[in-house]
């Protein structure tokens, strides 16, 4: 059910959205390792008959492949409760999210970022729609669109330096809300797929990547990070779902450890742009593996 607010500002936004051309669904947030830029390489690797399959992602992140596929049935999971809460609010209360995000956008300035971040981390009596709006606002205005939390689970990314960030995109939020109506959302880890994945599901794994060097690690999307033990447990889940006849695809770094883990499966390479580096000279295309069981 979509709850529609009765304020004049909300009604104005609704009218403008109805009158505007329909927008193709795409991610509503920036996400480290997001797949928007390599969809042209991933889509040809999808299994035959994928349009009839339920789309399952245990590390949904920005959801680029989900929005590109536009499946009729989906199960989208992540261990990040703020991310799942944002998608739930956009799915169920998109008009409320838009109104709150409009307010944040109108009041945006350098110092307001830290005020919003503090309230996001420590505020009480925040509605799900308002928290989702704050999540999107912080994502659009923080440094490089990172989502990073400290050991206490607090979002701690500094403000980015943007001249005029596009914080509110009404059409995009409506398009995302429409697609999310067809999705079941769960805040859960990848091992919970063993309770819910079924034969014939298409499961796409996009976990935190294995670091390509000791200084390249970025796995702090949630408390606890993601280490080699987690990568190995993920391989075990992948193997079990293969036994259950799910169609599986997984992205990760092109490093010996990952190649060894998935050595019995098919491995393809894609070229992916990477922009998260303090040294601009080290940004550019890198090789990634795409593991498949078909």
Q: Is residue 141 part of a domain?
A: yes
Is residue 95 a contact partner of residue 1, using CB atoms and an 8 Å limit? no
DSSP 212: S
User: Domain of 251: which CATH number?
Assistant: 3.40.50.150
Domain residue limits at 144:
8-292
SS3 280: helix
Q: What is the pLDDT of residue 193?
A: 96
- 23 contacts: CB under 8 Å, gap ≥ 6: 171, 172, 174, 175
Q: How many domains does the chain contain in total? A: 1
Q: What is the pLDDT of residue 215?
A: 58
How many C-beta atoms lie closer than 10 Å to residue 225's C-beta? 12
Q: What is the pLDDT of residue 88?
A: 98
Q: Is residue 1 part of a domain?
A: no
Q: What is the pLDDT of residue 20?
A: 46
Q: Is residue 169 part of a domain?
A: yes
Q: What is the pLDDT of residue 17?
A: 44
Q: How far apart are CA 293 and CA 15, in angstroms?
A: 47
- 63 contacts: CB under 8 Å, gap ≥ 6: 27, 57, 76, 87
Q: Is residue 2 part of a domain?
A: no
Give the strands of the sheet with 74-78, arranged side by side.
Answer: 183-187, 74-78, 55-57, 202-205, 247-253, 284-292, 266-274
Q: For the chain, 294 residues long, give each residue's pLDDT as a single digit of tens.
A: 444 454 555 445 444 444 444 689 999 999 989 999 999 999 999 999 999 999 999 999 999 999 999 999 999 999 999 999 999 999 999 999 999 999 999 999 888 999 999 999 999 999 999 999 999 999 999 998 899 999 898 999 999 999 889 999 999 999 999 999 999 999 999 999 999 999 999 999 999 999 987 655 444 445 567 999 999 999 999 999 999 999 999 999 999 999 999 999 999 999 998 755 555 455 579 999 999 999
Q: Is residue 189 part of a domain?
A: yes
Report pLDDT digits (tens) over 105-115. Answer: 999 988 899 99
Spell out where the chain has E strands: 55-57, 74-78, 183-187, 202-205, 247-253, 266-274, 284-292
In this prediction the pTM is 0.87
Residue given tokens 């992948």 in the structure block: 238
Q: Is residue 3 part of a domain?
A: no
- Output b/e per residue, 245-275; b: 16+ Cβ within 10 A: ebbbbbbbbbbeebeebbeebebeebebebe
Q: Is residue 60 part of a domain?
A: yes
Q: What is the pLDDT of residue 23?
A: 84
The CB-based long-range contact list for 177-180 (8 Å cut-off, 24+ gap) reads 177/2, 177/90, 177/91, 177/94, 178/25, 179/25, 179/66, 179/67, 179/70, 180/87, 180/90, 180/91
DSSP 51: G
């Amino acid at each position: 059910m979509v709850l529609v607010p009765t304020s004049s500002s909300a009604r104005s936004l609704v009218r403008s959205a109805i009158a505007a051309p329909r927008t193709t669904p795409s991610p509503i947030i920036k996400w480290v390792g997001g797949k928007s830029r390599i969809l042209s390489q991933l889509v040809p690797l999808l299994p035959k008959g994928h349009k009839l399959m339920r789309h399952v992602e245990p590390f949904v992140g920005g959801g680029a492949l989900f929005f590109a596929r536009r499946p009729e049935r989906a199960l989208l999971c992540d261990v990040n409760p703020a991310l799942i809460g944002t998608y739930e609010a956009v799915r169920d209360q998109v008009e409320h999210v838009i109104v709150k995000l409009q307010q944040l956008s109108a009041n945006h300035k350098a110092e307001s970022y830290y005020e919003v971040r503090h309230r996001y981390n420590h505020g009480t009596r925040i509605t799900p729609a308002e928290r989702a709006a704050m999540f999107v606002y912080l994502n659009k205005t923080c440094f490089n669109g990172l989502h990073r939390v400290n050991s206490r689970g607090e979002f701690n990314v500094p403000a980015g330096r943007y001249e005029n960030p596009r914080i509110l995109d009404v059409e995009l939020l409506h398009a995302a809300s429409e697609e999310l109506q067809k999705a079941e959302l769960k805040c859960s880890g990848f091992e919970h797929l063993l309770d819910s994945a079924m034969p014939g599901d298409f499961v796409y794994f996009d976990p935190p990547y294995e670091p390509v060097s000791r200084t390249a690690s970025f796995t702090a999307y949630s408390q606890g990070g993601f280490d080699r033990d987690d990568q190995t447990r993920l391989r075990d889940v992948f193997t079990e779902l293969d036994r259950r006849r799910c169609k599986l695809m997984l992205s990760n770094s092109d490093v010996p450890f990952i190649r060894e883990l998935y050595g019995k499966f098919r491995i393809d390479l894609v070229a992916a742009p990477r922009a998260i580096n303090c040294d601009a000279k080290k940004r550019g295309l890198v090789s990634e593996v795409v593991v498949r069981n078909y």
